[in-house]
Structure 1
Amino acid sequence: MKKIFDCIIIGSGPAGYTAAIYIARADLNHILYTGPIPGGQLIKTNEIENYPGFPKGVKGYLLMENFKKQAEKFGTKIYFNNVIDINFKLNNIHEILLDNNKKIQTKTIIIATGAYPKYLNIDNEKALIGHGISTCATCDGFFFKKKDVAVIGGGDKALEEAIFLSKLCNRIYIIIRKSKMRASKIMQKKIYNINNIKLLFNFEIKKIIGKKKLEYLICKKNYSNEEKKINVKAMFLAIGNSPNTNIFKNKISLDKNGYILTKKNSTKTNIPGVFAAGDVKDKIYRQAITSAGTGCMAAIEVEKYLSSLDLDLDLDLEE
């Protein structure tokens, strides 16, 4: 007889690992599948200063390693597989297909697949990824020591990237398409105190020039015909994220931007036994701590759902 798990957790960021910690402590039979980036986007974050419990800050990869160790301590089995397809609700059981063609059956699923960086979607951008264009300054900034570089975006992530690069690079241009930044005030104060960072408001990238590697950028100022050539050897994109929900399209309720819709004050989706946590459902806060919080919520709701399911089975009633 094929084994049926109590819960499968898809994703290994703060939401997935937090859910695993609570699910494990509830003594439920479960597995966590990490997906393509074990630890999620935080492993690419150099310094996290606003996660409670770390007054001196903490490296992103260290924080996620601690999450992982804590989940494993309580018995979570972690596998480095990708989920490539899901059949929801097969006789009250959900079935997932892994990248090794293995099929797993489970009573509940917690989707914590997070999000991925957005691109500008202009000519030459994808061709130069890895050759001067990057979405991770902490990963690739070292290769551009003492060079001029650009960061695209005006949020906390963009400013964090710029601050990191300011310690390595000659000059950092932050290119912002609006007239002001949307980053937190404390991050903005830090930026204004760094001499080798230059802010360019109301500019958008129009052309990316380079054959085998990035040579320079052509920017156009909004509401005018003014163009500016920026000689940089690297461009770091920090313009937001899109949810990792491609495999769930037409299978679960999503909003127009692809985020999973959940019931108010809940992680419940439109499918009984399926819950969503973290950035895959959150397009407002998108913080490590809020992701962890929804991971906790999802695990508690899984427990309640399984209890109600067991009660229904005892009474020989349909769900």
Structure 2
Amino acid sequence: MKKEKILDLVVIGAGPAGLTAGIYSSRAKLNFIILENELVGGQIRETPSIDNFPGFASISGAELADKMQEHAEASGAVIDEFDNILSVKFANEEKIIETNNVIYKPKSVIIATGAKSKPLPVPEEKKLRGRGIHYCELCDGAMYDGKDIVVVGGGNSAVDAAIFLTKYAKTLTVVHRSEKLRAEAKSQEELLKHDNVKLMFNTQIEHVDGENSIENIVLKDSKSGKKTNLKADAIFVYIGTTPKTELFKDYLDLTTFGHIKTNENLETNIRGVFAAGDVREKEIRQLTTAVNDGSIAALMAEKYIRNS
């Protein structure tokens, strides 16, 4: 028989939004827990360098994630990294979160589960994932020291990853489906300082040949339809993210793309359930907006708990 815990609040996710919510919830002296079944810190932990977070001219994502975790825990937040969530049941009257070991019955919930990388849309992706197709330059970049590397994408994540990978790459080719990069101008300038970098616009990867490693990449020009071959040893993919909302789809209103719909107070369609960070519907998704969401969600959850 699993033990039941009655809490004021459960925060699901320990990325920047969830950790910020934890800091504010601690200050409000709420009885709460943060549940996280992946890396504490979320996506920022995989970012080589962060240059746009106030107070830090430059800091690695891993270091910033550690500082956020330390701050949250020093404030009194409890983070459980090892008890996976099996199911949730949300209603206006009751919220139930069942993990491997515990059944939580909180008055309020903050969902800050973030997003995961979209896979490279080729038939060979599953076969070659981890064998040439990768999604984390910090984790896997060193494997390709002196090799030919391809980066797919044109946003900040792709360009920042490409900059990091230049230290290993013999040649580095950025493949982007549009006519120009979307990354910040400063990052683009930094990337183009490297002589071993080549940009390919209006181009998509159609196939990746190979059984246990990449032998050939088939590219397609999106304007002319012409196909070409590219020899490379690795592909690092940064083509966007998908929100982690599978657990909540039966209870919460989602957008076509799977993001949680909220109002300006980050309330969902269920009273007492809030969403913060990249998991929710919004125009801008940045580290600073995730932290902003976390603080708002915690303050609104505290108000809801006090009045319920």
List per-residue Cα deviations over 1:223-250 (Å, max 9, x = no partner). 2132221111000000000000001112
Residues 267 and 297, structure 1, Cα contact 8 Å, conserved in 2? yes
| Larger displacement relative to structure 2 (27-36 or 8-17) | 27-36
Q: Distance in 1 between matches of 2:265 and 2:182?
A: 28
Q: Distance in 2 between matches of 1:22 and 1:250?
A: 29
Q: 1:62 is matched with which residue?
A: 63
Q: 1:254 is matched with which residue?
A: 254
Normalised to the residue count of structure 1, the TM-score between the two structures is 0.93
1:4 aligns with 2:3: no
Q: 1:75 is matched with which residue?
A: 76
- Quickly say closer, same or farther: Cα 1:168–1:283, change in 2 above 3 A: farther
List per-residue Cα deviations over 1:124-154 (Å, max 9, x = no partner). 1111011011011111000000100100001
Cα shift at 1:193: 1.7
Amino acid at match of 1:294: D
Residues 5 and 103, structure 2, Cα contact 8 Å, conserved in 1? no
Q: 1:25 is matched with which residue?
A: 27
Residues 36 and 82, structure 1, Cα contact 8 Å, conserved in 2? no
List per-residue Cα deviations over 1:21-49 (Å, max 9, x = no partner). 00001000000011223221111111111
Q: Distance in 1 between matches of 2:140 and 2:281?
A: 28
Cα shift at 1:84: 2.5
Cα shift at 1:195: 1.1
| Larger displacement relative to structure 2 (249-258 or 182-191) | 182-191
Q: 1:294 is matched with which residue?
A: 293
Q: Distance in 1 between matches of 2:236 and 2:86?
A: 29
Percent of aligned positions with the same letter in both sequences? 38
Over the aligned positions, Cα root-mean-square deviation in angstroms equals 1.3
Residues 133 and 235, structure 1, Cα contact 8 Å, conserved in 2? yes
Name structure 2 gaps, 5 residues minimum. Answer: none
Cα shift at 1:3: 3.8
Residues 156 and 184, structure 2, Cα contact 8 Å, conserved in 1? yes
List per-residue Cα deviations over 1:90-141 (Å, max 9, x = no partner). 7x3311011x142111000000000000013211111101101101111100
Q: Distance in 1 between matches of 2:227 and 2:246?
A: 37
Q: 1:145 is matched with which residue?
A: 145
**How many residues end up aligned between the 2 structures?**
305
Q: Distance in 2 between matches of 1:44 and 1:76?
A: 23
Name structure 1 gaps, 5 residues minimum. Answer: 310-319
